[in-house]
Amino acid sequence: MKVDRRRFLQGTAAIAAAGMFGPNAWAEDPINVASIHDLSGGLDIYGKPMVDALTLAVEETDAAGGLLGRQIKLIS
């Protein structure tokens, strides 16, 4: 059986769609959000307020029910 490009793309799209709507796609695990900001050294005057703002945004989102019904976990 010869697989052409069109059949291959249709198959991979179907598999991706099935995984996107599968039972593990909406699991109760938190959504991880990572931030890389300078928290020490000469650039910490810029990094600390950015981490504080991101922390506030995550806390407000979690208090409002999370994102897609899931909580957000901040990793910095």
DSSP assignment of 20-59 equals HTSTTTT-SSPEEEE-----SSTTHHHHHHHHHHHHHHHH
What is the chain's pLDDT, residue by residue, as a tens digit (76 residues)? 667 887 778 778 777 766 656 655 556 789 999 988 888 898 889 999 999 999 999 999 999 999 888 999 999 8
Domains identified in the chain, total number: 1
Report how far apart, in Å, the C-alpha atoms of 33 and of each of 9, 18, 23, 42, 73 are.
31, 25, 22, 25, 6
| Polymer length in residues for the chain | 76
What domain range includes position 35?
5-75
pTM value is: 0.61
75: helix, strand or coil: strand
The residues facing 36 across adjacent strands are none
For residue 44, what pLDDT is reported? 86
For residue 6, what pLDDT is reported? 79
